[in-house]
Chains A and B, each alone.
Chain A
Amino acid sequence: MPGGILSFLIFFPIISGILIGIFSENKFLKINIKKTSLLITGIQLILSILIYFSYDKTIGGFQFIDYFDSWIPFEAFTARYIVGIDGLSAPLVLLTGILGFCSVIASMNIQLRQKEYFMWLLVLQGVVTGVFASLDLLLLFVFWEAELIPMYFLISIWGSGRAHYSAMKFLIFTLTSGALLLIGIISLYFSTGTFVMFDITELGLSGIVNSNLSLAIPAIFIFFIFFIGFAIKLPLFPVHSWLPDAHTDAPTAVSIMLAGVLLKMGGYGLLRINVDLFHYIDPSILTDLGPYFAIIGAFSVIYGAILTIQQTDLKRLIAFSSVSHMGYVILGFSSYSAFASVGSTEGLGGTALQLFTHGTITGLAFLLVGLTYERTHTRYIPHLGGLVNKMPLITTFFVIAGFASLGLPGLSGFVAELMIFVGTFKMGSLYAVSTIVAVFGVVLAAGYTLWMIQRAYFGKEVKGDSPVAKIFDQLTDLNKLELLSVVILTITIVVVGIYPSIITDVLDIGVGEIFTR
């Protein structure tokens, strides 16, 4: 691949989005915004697939590096522009490409203030790619915070319900997580003397070049600052309350990006900083505290699942199931051990895979809920029922997404959850107890997923005072473009389920390098 390809992947949607925002509708020029956006994200999709498959597994390490020195040469620190991907981030860049394309397809019915909408959607895609590709911590932070503005506008202008409230809640929570992150990043800088990730992993503790050791910010403080920052984004109980609101009120495409990609920023941060970097700074923290994280993870799984069962709004239900599924991420995260035991690599590999699979599965679920809502104009489950007669395709794909979400063998969710369970179980007694508890999360998942599909899509046709009953005869199924996006996501789910090596081969390199770099 030519040099600069990763920078292109980041800045192409940002710049073209801004150009659309400024120039698409004036006296001299009229562009079909929807088709242009589709084209741009199509290019992004193809490029990210190409980049993913040309990642050289025999070499490993960071590849496609773009380097620009002296971005900020401040007296107290030097920040560089460095982007590149390794085994951990490559699948997430691919995920962003896939979901970015699908989210544009999901936005084809947007009428209100089109050019601004697609501008923000494209900017969002570029910025999120930047988060996964940054190798400089300050650069990562810049992308991390820059994602806020597009998200705020997308939720509050094009959202429904209490959109302003949800958008502000999202903004405040994410700003808090960003604030913690900034403190962590700066503290880390003063203990290691660099912002560049692979410098930290190379230098480790011996790399304390800052002579000002009186600073003495304890590593455990930095660890928890990062952990809380990422936990807000993930989100983990008790800082999850922004997620259901933001999801419920966001437009479909934004829900897809939010659940599919933005939550993964939290998981990626945990793997990249709290595991990868801290393996070289102070591996004892996570090794010692692992069991407690396992307990938190298992609790989050069960707590999220119990909340999910009670939901009566399709979108809110899937949002809460995300809280439950992100509990598995913490569970797998806890299985880290400084000595690279067998369980540890499996558990972390499962975590990384869970990020990818949950992105595709929940992306598909939100897409289908959005398509259903466009037709029925309600997401309230008691008002739905018997939709299978009018929407056989939507129902079929929703069943696939549901099965994948509850971990049916042969679909991608199963592989990731199995790896996490096996990896964590091997680690010792407290881990094993937590794993056993968390396995019941799968049972609950089967419960809420199947019950939801049964109530909303199968069951008796709605009658009486339900608003859907009046328009039931006019309900239509998927059109070709919608089918395309649904099929892309379904293929990803099925292929990864049947042949997981397509992702895990790359992930294993990334996870292995945590210990052997």
Chain B
Amino acid sequence: MINLNDILLLSPEITLIIGTFVVIIADLFFPKKSYSAIFTSIFLIISSILSIAMVANLISYNDSSGLSIINVLSIDKYSLFLKSLILVSGLSISVCGINLLSEELKSKGEFWALFLISITGMSLLTSVTEMITAWVALELTSLPVIGMLALNQRKHSLEVSLKYLILSATSSAIILMGIAYIYGVSGSTFFNEISTIDTSLSGKYLFKDSTNILLLFGALLLVSGASFKIASFPFFSWVPDVYQGAPTIVTIYLSVVSKIAGFSIIIRILFDAINSSMVSEWAIYLSIMAAVSMTFGNVMALRQSNIKRLFAYSTIAHAGYILVGLASSEPDGLNSGNLAGIQSTVFYLAAYAITNLTAFLSILSISREINSFEIEEFKGVGTRIRYQSIILAISLISLLGIPATIGFMGKAFIFTSAISNNLMWLALVGILNSVISAYYYIRIIRLMFIDSSEVQSSKTANSDLNTRIITSFGAVLIIVLGLAPVMLLGIVEDVVNLLQ
């Protein structure tokens, strides 16, 4: 039964649910429309503080087991770390959204209520240890997004929303199929019970002799379904259209927060639920996912003219890089304590979240001033909106992976893990891909700064203050953690320790 202690453990999510109601009710009583975003931010602050306090507590007590809530949710260092990352990213988005959300959406309080519900789902997703709960949490993250996409009530936003709905439903169906397979083989939906079934014996239920392969197949269906969340091969065709057509706040939310949540559940399933003797088999599948995502994303990004669409392809490529780290989680590493692959994955995930959030918020704030998302229109913003442009340039350099930024450290860790796990070909594909990506990232920087002399700079504009504060913080993190990655690395090492 749930007791008081469990309620304390779930306090971040409970705060968010209370926040949802407050936002809906406040929308009725307060005519001033930016209140919804402010209330959202306040509840996200409380929730983030609770989550960070819990993870700090667990780290300082060196508690590696974590606490379980009726075997369905596990509140441990790993889940709390990613939860904090999700909540802080969500907080950054909502704080910037106070001023930067389009006027049309500002008048709709339910936008922020949906946002909070979706974040609640993602926050739960980091700690699930049971299949059905995982599916419910996944749906909880997706369904509100459909509403958020459609709220604009323009023709293309309905189209985008429908596209998202159909693909989301397809991926859910595939996930359910995967759950069914795993349940059929193991007779359980709990991760800990699935991982302890004896695969050497014949199947408990229907399929004798083929337990192993069916379990693996089920897991691969789950991972494929979750690839919808992380925007990687095979479910990435929705990404460019939805990213371009969605309100930018939602695009940022999908590209950063949704990706963290998707990876958190994939890592959980692969490490907690699936027997570790099967690692080498799913590693091949993940390598293929990684290679296709990286190559497709980077090659398609080369010729884009809309910056949101370009970033859509770029996030596909980055999902590929993260999958490289996951694919190179060492087969026997879980026993020998060599966790380089999973460490590099979580490190890169955090690095990606910081960098992409900084980049995207800067883009949002700049495009607010120039009223366009066309890359050509970014010509000369380096002189007009100088501060925000410098921050965007720093984050682009980090996405490209030039040293002295956190992006470089992430890539170095990922490719090192790949080479150390005999995945030299994958490391080569990844490194060549980052060379390709130089072209489109540097093109943006060039347009911003180098071509500025050719543009008659009209007036200098100041970007939104909230955005400036948050992105400055992001830029500082990019450089400081890029020079001394040990600060983040120490936490990551501690956090993934318990995934054995």
Contact = CB atoms under 8 A, between A and B. Distances in A.
Interface stretch (A51-59, A143-151, A440-448): A143-151
Contact of B412 (A156, A164, A182): A182
Interface in A210-249: 212, 214-215, 217
B450 A157 contact: yes
Contacts of A132: none
A251 to B, nearest CB: 14
A70 B486 contact: yes
Nearest to B337: A75
B396 to A, nearest CB: 11
Interface in A153-188: 153, 156-157, 164, 168, 171-172, 175-176, 179, 182-183, 186-187
Interface stretch (B164-172, B248-256, B418-426): B418-426
8 contacts: A71-B484, A73-B489, A75-B338, A75-B343, A75-B493, A76-B417, A164-B446, A212-B420
A39 interface: no
A438 interface: no
A28 interface: no
Given A75-B493, A164-B450, A171-B442, A141 B403 contact: yes
Interface string B384-419: 000000000000010000111000110011011101
Interface stretch (B15-23, B205-213, B430-438): B430-438
Interface string B217-228: 000000000000
Given A72-B489, A75-B343, A145 B402 contact: yes
B350 to A, nearest CB: 14
A6 interface: no
Contact of A149 (B343, B397, B412, B434): B397
A214 B419 CA distance: 12
A186 B402 contact: no
Contacts of A156: 446, 450
B438 A179 contact: no
A416 interface: no
A190 B435 contact: no
Interface string B364-376: 0000000000000
Given A179-B432, A179-B435, A215-B422, A71 B417 contact: no
B419 A190 contact: yes
Contacts of B493: 75
A138 interface: yes
B442 A152 contact: yes
Interface bracket on B = 35 or more
B170 to A, nearest CB: 37
B435 A172 contact: yes
Given A179-B431, A190-B420, A72 B485 contact: yes
Given A146-B404, A168-B439, A171-B442, A112 B453 contact: yes
Contacts of B417: 76
Contacts of A141: 403
B416 A186 contact: yes
A72 B486 CA distance: 6
Interface string B332-371: 0000001110011000000000000000000000000000
A469 interface: no
A138 B412 contact: yes
B427 interface: yes
Nearest to A75: B340
Given A212-B420, A215-B422, A74 B489 contact: yes
A168 B409 contact: no
Nearest to B430: A179
Given A71-B486, A76-B416, A76-B420, A157 B449 contact: yes
Given A74-B413, A186-B415, 10 more contacts: A73-B489, A74-B343, A74-B416, A143-B403, A153-B449, A172-B438, A179-B432, A182-B412, A182-B431, A186-B416
Interface string B426-467: 011001101100110010001001100100000000000000
A76 B446 CA distance: 36
B427 A183 contact: yes
B413 A148 contact: no
B328 to A, nearest CB: 10
Contacts of B489: 72-74
A77 interface: yes
Interface string A69-94: 01111111100000000000000000
A215 B449 CA distance: 45
Contacts of B397: 149
Top 9 nearest A-B pairs (CB, nearest first) are A76-B340, A142-B403, A75-B340, A179-B431, A175-B435, A145-B403, A146-B403, A76-B416, A186-B419
Nearest to A178: B435
Contacts of A157: 449-450
Nearest to A148: B402
Given A75-B338, A164-B450, A179-B432, A146 B422 contact: no
Given A72-B409, A164-B446, A214-B422, A179 B340 contact: no
Interface in A61-119: 70-77, 112-113
A179 B434 contact: yes
Nearest to B451: A164
Contacts of B415: 182-183, 186
Contacts of B404: 142, 146
Contacts of A190: 419-420
Nearest to B419: A186
